[in-house]
Amino acid sequence: MKYKRGEQMIFLKNALLKIGGLNLIFLLLMSLWRLVFFLYYGQGDNFSGLGGDIAAAFLMGFRFDLSVIASTNSIAILIFIVLTIIGKSAFFRPFFAGLKWYYTFSISILFIILAIDFGFYSYFQDHINVLIFGFFEDDTSALISTIYKNYNVFLILAGFAFFVFFIFKLSKTILKLKEINPLPKNIFVRIFISLILAFLTFLMMRGTTGDFPLSVNAGVSQNRFINAVSANGIFTLQAAIESHQRDKKDPDYIALSGYENNIRQAFADYLETNIKNIPEKNPEDSLMVLLPYNKEAEELKPTIIFIVMESLGTDLMKYNSESFNILGELKKHFSEDIVFYNFIPSYHTTVGSMEAVISNIARRPGSIFLSLSPYVYKKYKFSGPVPFKQKGYETFFIYGGNSAWRNVSTFMANLGFDRIIGEDGMKNKNYPGNEWGVFDEYLFDFVYEILDSDDKQKFIYILTTTNHPPYTLPKEYKALPLEIPKNLNEKIVGRDLADKRFLSYQYSARALGQFIEKIKKSKYGENVIIAVTGDHNFKNIYSYSADELFDSIRVPFYLYIPKKLKPAKFDAKVFGSHLDIMPTLYSISLSNVKYWAMGKNLFSKEAQNNIAVHIDISMDKNYIVEYEFGGERVSFYLWDKKAKDKIISSEEMDGHKRLIKHFLSMSAVSDFILKNTGTK
């Protein structure tokens, strides 16, 4: 049977329409997923006047999705092109039969990643990034147990099974070939069609006709959430993998920061001083501080209890009331004592914050955690316990969880702690707990026993775990009222976990408040300094608008200081971060001793214009900058004078340039310290 030229083209056209139509449905499903993301996480945000930006975000998102779908199709299109050039139309039947299985597998995997990204955002307020690898580097069994307890895993699996079945039936129905006609006999026609198909696929994969392919950092708005709406979890996962691989190679942050062969200038810029003040041989000595003689500290020889509370974010505290009693006994102490509220963590995970607090070395942006790096096997004069050990203190690291977590026992041992105790070291106490460790109240009981064991001076660094998924508490715990206020209720996006989260926060805050009260009323009340901060903000329950950047990350820094040691004058409104904690503690507890640290004493005059850094966010009392390392994404802000603690977008000003210089020099300085000053 002879076919006319037009009839010979019908089969190719129909075949391409089937593939194109099916992929258009996949694209629409991805756009629908983006709409769900917007509606779910955008609750409570004010998008007035941003309709154009929202439309641009969905358009940009469609381009991302199109690029992903085109990449997914690249293998299928390549085979399609080969079969077209060969010219055997009979080969298309087994190809299409296999194609339904290919799409079922690839699209299912694609949506699994998007679902993981959705859940990831609920906790970190960001799309998938390098923290995703914590699933494998953290306590994986505890994480799996947490997921099982917090989510209806069987319902999720059933839903996924239904989705897979739906994709299979859809692909099978659309890709069914009723009739196969011969292909055009002219090979040049077939090659021409193949070239057009290859070009269009490449163009869609690239995402643009411009000079550079579509980038994961492409933005459409000054609103952070709207930019998040446009992003695609597949792109961010790819960026996370590339970043993780790059970080494992330990980049030269000195060169990347612009200080190659000029490290003294990096120290000078970081300290905002003349390069003449930076030693040529050991530039890190410019960060050395000699504490003066302190008569009160010499006489009291105070014990220091430094507590890092899991997820003790500041923002939730503003909702505290009699009916929503989130703080319990802790409120009294926060009212009586010193609290720095303009304070941010160094990182948004426990291990990242932990290392910056106690190493006195700033985190290098995007770097592998120190406890998992080769630097864990070196000793540094910057180590937090060193000044205390020089004054005869016994040093403790007490963790409510497993001391093997994130290689923390090795890390703390090399920092100089005399005793490292995790839940495994408390087994003889039979303390109750959950997958992540001993409940906070029992952890504090253990700490008090350590305090009461002898009269030696002690520096005790404590890390709690209870205010962490799966949010399980002691069965006998009696909660205070937690009626969620209307203005908070409107912001909640994870309502299924909200009640458990708020209850867990309340429990930990109360356990802390009761412990502080116990210390104050004991014989140690005038001889103990208590410092408290959060490892990162309270997460996973409600989203933040673009102007709430500060609220989304901040944690408090609380200090109880005996009267004899308390500074006569201080400004609790200064800005600070985890890096400033140890220098502040040294200043009120030690006398006539040297220490090395990148942070500042918050009671000093130098802290008045201090710069605080959280990953890639830098801020002082006037300016805020989001500066992604490498300068690929930069945003400038000022504090909103009309709305407390909120920010407004700004053009770049000299104050912003100061923050960027500080951020880059900080990265170079910390890299130099880690690579050049440690001893094995």
Q: Which amino acid is at 183?
A: L
CB-based contact 359:376 (threshold 8 Å): no
Q: Is the pLDDT of residue 1 over 50?
A: no
pLDDT in tens, 245-263: 655 668 899 999 999 999 9
Mind listing the pLDDT tens digit for each residue in 545-580?
Answer: 888 999 999 999 999 999 999 998 999 999 999 999
Strands 617-619 and 623-627: antiparallel
Contacts of 576 (CB under 8 A, 6+ apart): 340, 342, 343, 344, 557, 584, 599, 600, 602, 607, 610, 612
Is the confidence at residue 438, as pLDDT, over 60? yes
Average of pLDDT values for 291-316? 95
pLDDT score, position 147: 66
Supply the pLDDT for residue 343: 98
- Residue pair 218/230 in contact (Cβ under 8 Å)? The answer is yes
Looking at residue 540, what is its pLDDT? 65
Average pLDDT, the chain: 86
Give the tens place of pLDDT for each residue, 532-541: 999 999 876 7
Question: Do the Cβ atoms of 594 and 577 come closer than 8 Å?
Answer: no
CA distance 587 to 294: 9
Tell me the β-bridge partners of 634.
627
Q: Are 511 and 466 in contact (CB under 8 A)?
A: yes
User: Is the model more confident about 132 or about 288?
Assistant: 288
The Cβ-side half-sphere exposure at 657, using a 13 Å CA radius, reads 3
Domain ranges in the chain?
A: 5-247, 255-676
**Three-state secondary-structure class, residue 612:** strand
Greater pLDDT, 423 or 508: 508
- The CATH number that domain 255-676 falls under is 3.40.720.10
- For residue 330, which of 535, 339, 436 has the smallest C-alpha distance? 339
Given a contact cutoff of 8 angstroms between Cβ atoms, the answer to whether 304 and 529 are in contact is yes
Residue type, 557: F
Is 201's pLDDT higher than 70? yes
Q: Which of 57-61, 116-120, 240-244, 443-447 has the highest mean pLDDT?
A: 443-447
DSSP, collapsed to helix, strand or coil, labels residue 559 as: strand
| pLDDT tens-digit map of 133-143 | 766 655 566 66
Both tokens of residue 601?
């004493």
pLDDT at 71 over 80: yes
Angstrom distance (rounded) from CA 68 to CA 619:
36
Q: Which of 63-72, 148-157, 207-216 has the lowest mean pLDDT?
A: 207-216
In eight-state DSSP terms, residue 221 is: -
**Residue 577 confidence (pLDDT):** 97
| 98, 83 Cβ separation under 8 angstroms | no
* Per-residue pLDDT tens digits for 164-180: 898 888 888 888 876 66
